[in-house]
């Protein structure tokens, strides 16, 4: 298993939800985890929103200095560098959407490329720009060229929020697997919300990763 | 119809294109930049045009030009940018031209902040710019409604030859929900744009687009005519949603995303046996006065919930017209009220938990 676990993808592919859950899972396995919110392109619905839950779970959170404030500038904090120097930590990096978001990752190319990293592309085939094998490959290429790193894992996170069905997830898995096969990249897992986890296990032979919903909408009573 | 998972900003852009919008003039500002980003990718593919203007003022005047030529045109911005567009919108209203303007509202005044707000209600419904004029203002509260009202906005604009504003906030612009687009949209039967400055083909007189009138009497006549149109719109275009109002003692009035928060608070109160209802204005102008006035005959209290210091509450008070108490709960500056805060206010009004 790699020490650096990086999640990239299209806007709204579910990178943040997958990253949060992945960090929680690593923590459960006894790892000393730091999660980094590297999203410099989207001011809303981000890792920072789950900071309290993560801290309570004993996970350190590093976010852009001005995240969730009105300062609309993408300043990354200096203590981000400790993720590369303190090798005892296991790192989860939640990168901003598209190639635009991946630019921030490219800035750390020199550090990341020194290590055995896992760079996962999160794909939701119900998002219009990653709906086909061809579009997934285009998105992957754009992100690779901006980050200067190689995507070496693909995750199926196909969903329609509260309208998700297992049939839809399964269809997404086929498309995402086809893209992974064509690229010769590992298909890592299909992410499935908890409620559908057991049902989905019966439908697939792929690895399935359960997702707990940590980010709630403002109208959902906490 | 295939369901897709889309952000509010993307869904509005896609719906606009599908509704036949062929010209989009943008200028970036958080939290609506995805509209421009989406348009820049998609417009060239449908034979339309996306242009990033040099300023908001330029963008709205480009809309003015395209609208005059009879083409469906749109611009979008967020609060400070809408203030910059105000002059142009007044000219478009004064020239009786159709267009759609999207405002994804952020905290204000001034540069304010980038988080969600509803503090542009007065601006949108009463005093956007100089002169006697109105915009139809549509306030979606879900991503599907963003899609549906975008189609509607273009039709209303064309039917009445006037600017229509879609109003949302950063929550709506950025959140994702499943949406479907109609396979084939059957819009309204719209009159031909015989007034458009799209070339005479040597078959008719020149059409003139203008908002300058030398004679006061001529201008007055035109404005009075325009207000007859507004009266007609008030009669025919009001849209709202109600829930649980029949037996309600306390009626919440909230629009956009805040209506969803109010709804959660209402459900919590109902579980406690407190009779709470909700009126959600979908058109902010024309405001749903009649339903509020009728509901006020039975209900004891009204509670307007807004992300502002209290703007729509004035229209609620006018519509209630002394028939019931009118209360207000709001957060501002980009702070979103929680369902619990609204619930606590309901308890306060209802006189303590039963």
**B152 falls within a domain:** yes
**B294 falls within a domain:** yes
Please check whether residues B16 and B165 belong to one and the same domain: yes
> Is the peptide bond between B143 and the residue preceding it cis, with omega within 30 degrees of 0?
no
Please check whether residues B153 and B296 belong to one and the same domain: no
Please check whether residues B272 and B218 belong to one and the same domain: no
> Which helix H or strand E contains A44, and what residues bound it?
none
Q: Where are the beta strands (DSSP E) in chain B?
A: 4-7, 23-26, 49-52, 73-77, 99-105, 136-138, 163-169, 176-179, 240-243, 250-253, 276-281, 283-285, 301-306, 325-330
Q: For B202-229, give the DSSP string.
A: TTSPPP------SSHHHHHHHHHHHHHH
Residues of A in contact with B35 (CB under 8 A): none
Residue in chain A closest to B263 (alpha carbons) equals: A219
Residue partners of B339: CB distance under 8 A and separation at least 6: A219, A220, A221, B261, B264, B265, B268
Residue in chain B closest to A66 (alpha carbons) equals: B114
Residues of A in contact with B113 (CB under 8 A): 69-70
Residue by residue, pLDDT tens for chain B (354 residues) are 789 999 999 999 999 999 999 999 999 998 999 999 999 989 999 999 999 999 999 999 999 999 999 999 999 999 999 999 999 999 999 999 999 999 999 999 999 999 999 999 999 999 899 999 999 999 999 999 999 999 999 999 999 999 999 999 999 999 999 999 998 888 999 999 999 999 999 999 999 999 999 999 999 999 999 999 999 999 999 999 999 999 999 999 999 999 999 999 999 999 999 999 999 999 999 999 999 999 999 999 999 999 999 999 999 999 999 999 999 999 999 999 999 999 999 999 998 644
**B259 falls within a domain:** yes
**B83 falls within a domain:** yes
For residue A65, pLDDT over 90 is answered with no
Please check whether residues B113 and B218 belong to one and the same domain: yes
A72 to chain B, closest Cα gap in Å: 7
Residue in chain B closest to A68 (alpha carbons) equals: B115
For residue A222, pLDDT over 70 is answered with no
Instruction: Return phi, psi of residue B319, to 5°.
Output: -70, -40
For residue A150, pLDDT over 70 is answered with yes
Distance in angstroms (rounded) separating the CA atoms of residues A158 and A127: 8
Question: What does DSSP assign to residue B116?
Answer: B
Q: What is the CATH number of the domain that holds B318?
A: 3.40.50.920
* Number of domains observed in the structure of chain B: 2
Residues of B in contact with A131 (CB under 8 A): 4
Nearest to A219 among B4, B174, B264 (CB): B264
Nearest to B339 among A72, A162, A219 (CB): A219
What local confidence, expressed as pLDDT, does residue B165 receive? Answer: 98
Q: What domains lie within chain A, and their CATH numbers? A: 4-211 (3.40.50.300)
What local confidence, expressed as pLDDT, does residue B352 receive? Answer: 61
Q: What is the interface pTM, i.e. ipTM, of the complex?
A: 0.90
Residue in chain B closest to A165 (alpha carbons) equals: B3
Task: Please give the residue range of the domain that contains residue B21.
Answer: 4-193+209-236
Interface contact B338-A218, CB threshold 8 A: yes
Please check whether residues B223 and B257 belong to one and the same domain: no
Cβ A46 vs Cβ A16: under 8 Å? yes
For B141-256, where are the alpha helices, taking DSSP H only? 143-160, 170-174, 216-236
Please check whether residues B187 and B263 belong to one and the same domain: no
Other C-beta atoms lying within 10 Å of the C-beta of residue B95? 17
Q: Where are the beta strands (DSSP E) in A39-124?
A: 60-62, 90-95, 117-123
Which chain B residues touch A if contact means CB-CB below 8 Å? 3-7, 10, 14, 30-31, 34, 107, 112-115, 170-171, 174-178, 257, 260-261, 263-264, 268, 334, 336, 338-340
Please check whether residues B125 and B272 belong to one and the same domain: no
Closest by Cα among B297, B281, B277, B279 to B242: B279
Interface contact A44-B107, CB threshold 8 A: no
What local confidence, expressed as pLDDT, does residue B354 receive? Answer: 47
What local confidence, expressed as pLDDT, does residue A44 receive? Answer: 77
Question: What does DSSP assign to residue A56?
Answer: H
Please check whether residues B135 and B265 belong to one and the same domain: no
Distance in angstroms (rounded) separating the CA atoms of residues B209 and A9: 47
Please check whether residues B220 and B289 belong to one and the same domain: no
Residues of B in contact with A12 (CB under 8 A): 5-7, 176
Q: What is the CATH number of the domain that holds B145?
A: 3.40.50.970
**B58 falls within a domain:** yes
């Amino acid at each position: 298993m790699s020490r650096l676990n990086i999640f990239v993808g299209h806007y709204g592919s579910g990178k943040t939800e997958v990253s949060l859950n992945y960090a929680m899972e690593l923590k459960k396995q006894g790892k000393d985890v730091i999660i980094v919110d590297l999203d410099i392109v989207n001011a809303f619905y981000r890792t920072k929103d789950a900071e309290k839950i993560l801290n309570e779970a004993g996970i350190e959170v590093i976010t852009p200095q001005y995240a969730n404030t009105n300062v609309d500038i993408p300043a990354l904090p200096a203590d981000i560098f400790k993720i590369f120097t303190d090798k005892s930590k296991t790192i989860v990096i939640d990168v901003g959407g598209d190639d635009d978001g991946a630019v921030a990752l490219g800035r750390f190319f020199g550090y990341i490329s020194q290590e055995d990293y896992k760079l996962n592309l999160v794909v939701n085939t119900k998002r219009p720009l990653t709906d086909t094998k061809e579009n997934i490959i285009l998105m992957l290429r754009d992100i690779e060229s901006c980050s200067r790193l190689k995507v070496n894992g693909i995750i199926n996170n196909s969903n329609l929020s509260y309208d998700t069905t297992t049939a839809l997830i399964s269809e997404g898995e086929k498309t995402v697997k086809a893209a992974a096969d064509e690229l010769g990249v590992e298909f890592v897992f299909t992410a499935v919300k908890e409620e559908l986890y057991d049902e989905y296990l019966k439908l697939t032979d792929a690895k399935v990763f359960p997702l707990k919903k940590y980010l709630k909408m403002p109208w959902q009573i906490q | 119809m295939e369901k897709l998972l889309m952000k509010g900003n993307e869904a509005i852009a896609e719906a606009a294109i599908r509704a036949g919008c062929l010209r989009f003039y943008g200028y970036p500002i958080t939290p609506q930049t995805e509209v421009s980003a989406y348009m820049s990718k998609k417009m060239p593919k449908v034979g339309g045009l996306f242009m990033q203007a040099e300023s908001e003022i330029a963008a709205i005047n480009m809309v003015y030009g395209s609208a005059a030529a009879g083409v469906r045109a749109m611009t979008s911005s967020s609060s400070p940018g809408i203030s910059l567009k105000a002059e142009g919108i007044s000219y478009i209203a004064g020239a009786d031209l159709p267009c759609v303007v999207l405002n994804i509202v952020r905290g204000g005044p001034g540069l304010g902040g980038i988080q969600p707000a509803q503090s542009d209600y007065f601006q949108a419904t009463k005093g956007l710019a100089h002169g006697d004029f109105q915009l139809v203002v549509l306030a979606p509260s879900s991503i599907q409604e963003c899609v549906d009202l975008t189609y509607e906005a273009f039709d209303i604009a064309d039917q009445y030859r006037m600017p229509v504003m879609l109003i949302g906030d950063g929550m709506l612009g950025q959140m994702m929900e499943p949406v479907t687009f109609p396979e084939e949209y059957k819009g309204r039967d719209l009159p031909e744009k015989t007034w458009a400055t799209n070339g005479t083909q040597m078959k008719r007189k020149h059409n003139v687009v203008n908002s300058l009138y030398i004679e006061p009497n001529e201008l007055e006549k035109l404005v009075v005519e325009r207000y007859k149109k507004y009266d007609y719109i008030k009669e025919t275009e009001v849209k709202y949603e109600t829930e649980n109002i029949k037996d309600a003692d306390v009626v919440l009035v909230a629009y956009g995303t805040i209506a969803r928060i109010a709804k959660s608070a209402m459900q919590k109160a109902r579980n406690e046996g407190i009779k709470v209802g909700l009126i959600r204005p979908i058109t902010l102008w024309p405001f749903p006065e009649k339903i509020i006035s009728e509901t006020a005959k039975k209900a004891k209290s009204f509670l307007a919930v807004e992300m502002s210091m209290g703007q729509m509450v004035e229209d609620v008070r006018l519509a209630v017209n002394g028939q019931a108490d009118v209360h207000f709960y709001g957060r501002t500056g980009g702070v979103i009220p929680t369902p619990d805060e609204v619930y606590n206010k309901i308890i306060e009004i209802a006189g303590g938990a039963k």
